[in-house]
Amino acid sequence: MAELTNIKSPRVKAARRLTKRAFRDRDRAFLAEGPQAVREALALKDVTVELFTTVEAETRHADIVAAALAAGVPVHRASGEVMSELTQTVTPQGLLAVCRFVHVPLAEAVPRGARLVAILAHVRDPGNAGTVLRTADAAGADSVVFTDASVDPYNGKCVRASAGSLFHLPVVTGTSVADAVRHAREAGLRVFAADGAGTRTLDEVALDAPAAWLFGNEAWGLPPELLALADEVVRVPIYGRAESLNLATAAAVCLYASARAQRQTLHSVEDPTTPAL
């Protein structure tokens, strides 16, 4: 295949503009950078629009390029200069895919029977948001809701921080916090707000029931009007001298606490003779 070397070519410019949210929203497309993200995007049918690869990456990740070609995805060999123009990292990994939006409606992402959901309220840092998404995926959550005042999940840094998890579980965008909480409650989930203002800690709350966790802004947490939406405000216990935990770490602790409690209960119901984990 011919190598793209002109950073001003229409194809390169069309992909490059997806680094801006206005163009992502208009084209309903975003960029997924790196082998992990591209591999997971290709695993979903009709999500990957096209793939850019350097010669070196084409050799190193021949399986990914082969999977793209087998799926009928156009593959463009790009020079190092073009790849640097397209990517947003200091050291590009040589693979970048243009992908269609993958978010789903709230009702689809949080159906009755869901057991664990993360709701991001006014979360602005894309690295934190992507890490929460990755953590929710690892904890076995049903979905992650990015409310309308939170960062765009298709932001390049957020996509990279999710490490492919953006393509693993349902993601919701653009809903209000109130609607997300109301829908979660209607789906049978108990709504917990993670905040230092909580009167009880994770150690003191029963977490074995289906739960939706509400996480707030990195700097100021959850304002009173959002705390009031929750069934209970819970804080992560601090055993040492640290003042607090950052958002992504606190979210990991809360989501895994719920996931562990739910799995213990399920295990004891399925086999009551087996000791709890």
Helical pair 247-270 and 126-138, crossing angle rounded to 10 deg: 10
**What is the residue whose two structure tokens read 């050799």?**
59
Taking alpha carbons only, the member of 37, 182, 193, 208 closest to residue 120 is: 193
Enter the tokens of residue 137.
Answer: 């995926």
Provide the pairing of β-strand 143-147 with 3-4. unpaired
Q: Which residues of the chain have pLDDT under 50?
A: 274, 276-277
The CATH number of 3-100 is 3.30.1330.30
pTM over 0.85: yes
Segment (H or E) for 88? none
Torsion angle, CA of 37/40/42/46, rounded to 10 degrees? -100
Give me the residue spans of the domains in the chain.
Answer: 3-100, 106-270
Reported as a single tens digit per residue, the pLDDT across 41-99 is: 999 999 999 999 999 999 999 999 999 999 999 999 999 999 999 998 878 899 999 99
Asked, colleague to colleague, whether 3-100 and 106-270 share their fold, the answer is no
CA dist 85 → 4, 56, 74, 107 (Å): 12, 17, 19, 38
The dihedrals phi and psi of 239, each to the nearest 5 degrees, come to -90, -20
The fourth-level CATH superfamily of domain 106-270 is: SPOUT methyltransferase, trefoil knot domain (3.40.1280.10)
Q: Are 52 and 96 in contact (CB under 8 A)?
A: yes
